Structures are given as structure tokens and as C-alpha cells.
Amino acid sequence: MEKLNVAIIGASGGIGSAFVRHFAGNTSANVLAFSRSGTDFDLPNVQSHTMDFHDESSIERAAKVASESGSLDLVIVATGILHDDSLMPEKSIRNLSAESFEKAFRTNTIGPALVAKHFLPLLKKDERAVFAALSARVGSISDNRLGGWHAYRASKAALNMVLKTISIEMAMRQKKTIVVGLHPGTVDSQLSKPFQANVPDSQLFTPEYSAEKLVAVIDRLTPADSGKVFAWDGLEIES
């Protein structure tokens, strides 16, 4: 049987590492794990490499490494930023800054777009293949009822547009390639830590649960789904 060839970008993250462990559990899968910090999984079917969205040549190098394992069935981009030492989601327009927007867009929009540029040509062309990037429900313009989190929301809305635009191009060239955004639910990770206080336990997923649900969503996707955004429960999220 041919091996399932999977690349996970953002493999050091809460959800990204759960994806790596999920696929590593399948002995007939070959897993390429890319992360900025170069997390080593020490698992027989996982190869770990580095990639930083601030340096496109690192993405190009990563794609070259990936190409040595043969064509890919699946690429999952599980990177993202909501806060760091100098970034906090804005409560009001008074908190907006160019730096916050630049940081959010670099990691949440531009990085995944550059991964698509270098990794889409590696996907299988004559068989079903999937390129999925983790987005967020808050990137939906029609679903925005609460306001706030301006840079993060805008960067995810822009990511959804990038994915839609790529899906149109792929439909013309690689009809079996499916390009989607995925919302993982609210997941217990470093990214959500400061915002978990008001989340009921039943709505705070473990990374393992979210990754499992998202794999089930990915497994059910067809080319007609390309360009859309789906939540962990398989329901489409409107733009």
C-alpha cells in the first residue's frame, strides 16, 4: 500500500503537534513536521525540520526537503498568532497599531500564502489532495457580532480570501486539489490561554480532540468544498 504523505506546518503548536501525533499513530503514514522552533518528535515516521514565516527562503528550503519524500496527500498549516510579549488583541480602535497588524498578517495571512506558493506544487496531481490552513470563526465578517480583536480578525478574514482565490486557480489546474480553511473550536493551547476564563469546560477542547475532529472533516472533503471554511463539526462558516 502506498504511504500517506503528510506535511504539518506549525508542528510545535498545540494543535499542530496533535496533528503530528495523530498521523504518526498511523504506521503507513510519512509525516513531515515543520516548525519555527524545530521541535523534534523522536517518532520513527516523523521527520522534523524548521521553517520561519519571516524568511521565505526557509519555506522554499522546507518545500525542497518535503519534495524528497515524494508527492504529498495533505498539507496542514497549523501556525498562528493572537498574542505575544508585545501583541495583545485590541479591545478598541484606540489600541490599534501598525505593528500589531503587521505581526498578525505576517503569521496568519502572508505565511500560509507563501506555504501555499511553495507546497501546492508538491501535492499529488492525479489523486485527491488537500491543502488546509487553520483559520478562525472570528475571521468571518458576517459572524462578527462582538467586535474587537481587529488585527487578528482582519488577518484571518484575509487568509480566507487568500484560500478562496487559490482554490479558483487550483480548480483550473489541479482539479482534484481541495483548498480549505478550518476552525478548530476553542482549544486549550498557548494561543488561547489568556482568554479561557469565560469558556465553559465543555467548550474548551483538548488539541487531540480538535485535531481528530478536523481530520474527520478533511476526510469528508470533496473538490466542491474547495475555497470554503469549515468548523471542527463539519459545518461551513460563511465569509
Ligand X SMILES: NC(=O)c1ccc[n+]([C@@H]2O[C@H](COP(=O)([O-])OP(=O)(O)OC[C@H]3O[C@@H](n4cnc5c(N)ncnc54)[C@H](OP(=O)(O)O)[C@@H]3O)[C@@H](O)[C@H]2O)c1
Residue 18 belongs to what H/E stretch? helix 14-24
CA geometry: angle 14, 16, 17, nearest 5 deg: 70
Say how many CA atoms lie within 13 Å of 230 toward its Cβ: 23
Residue placing its CB nearer to ligand X in the complex, 175 or 193 = 193
Least Cβ distance, residue 106 to ligand X (angstroms): 6
Can you tell me the distance from the alpha carbon of 101 to that of 10, in angstroms, rounded to the nearest whole number?
20
Least Cβ distance, residue 154 to ligand X (angstroms): 13
Residue placing its CB nearer to ligand X in the complex, 15 or 24 = 15
Least Cβ distance, residue 104 to ligand X (angstroms): 10
Residue placing its CB nearer to ligand X in the complex, 115 or 174 = 115
Residue placing its CB nearer to ligand X in the complex, 35 or 140 = 35
Would you state the cell numbers that stand for residue 175, as one nine-digit string? Answer: 482539479
Which residues, including other chains, have CB under 8 Å from residue 144's CB and lie 6 or more apart? 138, 153
Can you tell me the distance from the alpha carbon of 175 to that of 128, in angstroms, rounded to the nearest whole number?
9
Sites of contact with ligand X (CB under 6 A): 10, 12-16, 35-37, 51-54, 78-81, 107, 111, 134, 136, 183-184, 186-187, 189-192
Least Cβ distance, residue 28 to ligand X (angstroms): 26
